[in-house]
Structure 1
Amino acid sequence: MTVLVLALAAGAVVGLALGALGGGGGVLAVPALVYLLGFAPVEAATASLVIVAVTSATALYGHARDGQVRWTAGLLFAAAGAGPAALTASLAADVPRPVLTAAFAAVAVLAALRMLRPVPEEGDGDGGRTGSGAHRTRPLRAVGAGAGVGALTGFLGVGGGFLAVPALVALTRLRMRAAVATGLLVVTVNALAALTARAGTAAPVDWAVVAPFTGAAVLAAWDGRRLAARVPAALLRRILGYGLLAVAALMAADTTARLL
């Protein structure tokens, strides 16, 4: 299988995850770049940020056009996460590969558990779009959650949507569809902040691989939105959750082999 075909196939899976569930794409992109396409972990994190930023921004446009993005809640999360994303992105280049791989395996397990656990009860608010739901937002907890998501994005190159979406449901009482759309705003801003911090310090991006990967992800993200309207979200989350557990096992085995 050629590198191009692998990049297109991996990009399609990442795009479907982001478009349908608003998260999980970055957690899939990094191991795909490392184990299928031969990137070093630090290079994969930078490339993943490019892929996630472009794909999330494209999917965000579609959700915004449908009126699902709750800008007040999303910008609160994003503003809290942008600084930590930039800070941790600048530190990641000096972290040894086994440490990065082990950290990523742990994050993949966390993402899988998030996907496999029951979704938090959906709220009936609008995350501050109108006065009816504004009082339900918990600003301090939202800022803390946003900062944590941003730090994760910068350090490992993942979007953090798998954490942002349930946090938006729990803390701003958004319905799931609006939380997925708003989570894409958070992911986009955090990824761009992390990329800005890595500019000039990270290895050059291999556009021959990243460009087709990103293009496939963008196209698949539109299909993901349509898929989410036809397939139960619980089924999609289970499929992604078990896939992430397999990724975590692969990366844990790789870390163990490098340390022995």
Structure 2
Amino acid sequence: MSAVVLALLAGAVVGLALGGMGGGGSVLAVPALVYLLGFSPVEATTASLVIVAITTATSLYAHGRDGNVRWRAGLLFAAAGLLPAVLGGLLAARLPEALLTAAFSVLAAVAAAGMLRARDEAPATGGTNTARAAGAGAGLGAVTGLLGVGGGFLGVPALVRVVGLPMRAAVGTSLLVITLTSTASLAARGGTLSALDWTVVGPFTAAAVLGAWDGRRLAARVSGRALQRVFGAALLAVAALMLVDAFVLR
């Protein structure tokens, strides 16, 4: 199967995750780029940021039009993560590839566990703890910059439990946060963009954008728990593969 076809298929899955759940796509994009398309971990994390930033920006428009984005809360949450995202991006270029792979696999396992538990939405808190929200935003930004993930699978629960948003608004607001932090992370990796294989990144991104629109429609028809469990099982398999690659195959 050609690289372009693989990129289109992987991009569609990533878009479905981002459009349907407001996150999770980037933790699928990095391993797809590494194991299916032959990118190095550093190239994959940079390419993932490009794909995620463009895809979430387009999805953000649709969610904003539907009134599902809390702009003030999202901007405050993202602002706390911008500097950590840039610093994380600078640090990623100086770390061993095996360490990045291992760190990513642990993060994917944590995300998988959260999705497989598929808890019901937490009740709104009735108010936002500014310090906790800033801390959560900073942590999300650091993860985004270091590992090339948008962080929606972490951001959505934080926006629900820390900021107090209902789930639908948390998904839409998460897209705003991901767009801003991913763009900030890319600013720190500007020198690596020219080395990417754009004949692969381009089709991957286009398929992700289209998949995100389908994911948004799918989320309205399919149980959120069912979607979470499917992606959680896939992530768990990815985490196991990457751990083996980091510690056994190298």
TM over 0.5: yes
Q: Could you tell me which residue of structure 2 aligns to residue 130 of structure 1?
A: none
**Counterparts of 1:167-178 in structure 2 under 5 Å?**
167-178=158-169
> Is residue 245 of structure 1 aligned with residue 236 of structure 2?
yes
- Taking the aligned partners of 2:193 and 2:186, their CA distance within structure 1 comes to 9
| 1:114-134 deviation line (CA, Å, top 9, x unaligned) | 212243534457xxxxxxx6x
Preserved CA contact (<8 Å) 1:114 1:163: no
2:204 pairs with 207, 213, 218, which one? 213
- Kindly provide the amino acid, as one letter, of the partner of residue 172 in structure 2: A
**Structure 1 residue 205: deviation in Å?**
2.0
- Kindly provide the amino acid, as one letter, of the partner of residue 41 in structure 1: P
Structure 1: give runs of 5+ residues left out of the alignment: 126-132
**Structure 1 residue 174: deviation in Å?**
1.2
Give TM-score, length-normalised by structure 1. 0.93
Residues 203 and 105 of structure 1: CA distance in aligned 2, closer, same or farther (over 3 Å): farther
Identify the range of structure 1 (194-203 vs 97-106) with the bigger mean alpha-carbon deviation.
194-203
> Is residue 146 of structure 1 aligned with residue 137 of structure 2?
yes
Preserved CA contact (<8 Å) 2:46 2:192: no
Preserved CA contact (<8 Å) 2:109 2:235: yes
Q: Could you tell me which residue of structure 2 aligns to residue 155 of structure 1?
A: 146
Preserved CA contact (<8 Å) 2:22 2:153: yes
> Is residue 68 of structure 1 aligned with residue 68 of structure 2?
yes
Preserved CA contact (<8 Å) 1:10 1:29: yes
Aligned residues: 250
| 1:139-196 deviation line (CA, Å, top 9, x unaligned) | 1100000011100000010010001000100012211111000001111100000000
Q: CA RMSD in A?
A: 1.3
**Structure 1 residue 257: deviation in Å?**
2.3
Identify the range of structure 1 (152-161 vs 109-118) with the bigger mean alpha-carbon deviation.
109-118
Preserved CA contact (<8 Å) 2:124 2:160: no
Preserved CA contact (<8 Å) 2:160 2:167: yes
- Kindly provide the amino acid, as one letter, of the partner of residue 226 in structure 1: R
- Taking the aligned partners of 2:244 and 2:191, their CA distance within structure 1 comes to 32
Q: Could you tell me which residue of structure 1 aligns to residue 216 of structure 2?
A: 225
- Taking the aligned partners of 2:87 and 2:201, their CA distance within structure 1 comes to 24
Q: Could you tell me which residue of structure 1 aligns to residue 110 of structure 2?
A: 110
- Taking the aligned partners of 2:42 and 2:118, their CA distance within structure 1 comes to 33
Preserved CA contact (<8 Å) 1:18 1:25: yes
- Taking the aligned partners of 1:73 and 1:87, their CA distance within structure 2 comes to 23
- Taking the aligned partners of 1:85 and 1:258, their CA distance within structure 2 comes to 30
> Is residue 90 of structure 1 aligned with residue 81 of structure 2?
no
> Is residue 59 of structure 1 aligned with residue 94 of structure 2?
no
Preserved CA contact (<8 Å) 2:34 2:44: yes
- Taking the aligned partners of 1:195 and 1:222, their CA distance within structure 2 comes to 24
- Taking the aligned partners of 2:45 and 2:66, their CA distance within structure 1 comes to 31
Q: Could you tell me which residue of structure 2 aligns to residue 18 of structure 1?
A: 18
Structure 2: give runs of 5+ residues left out of the alignment: none
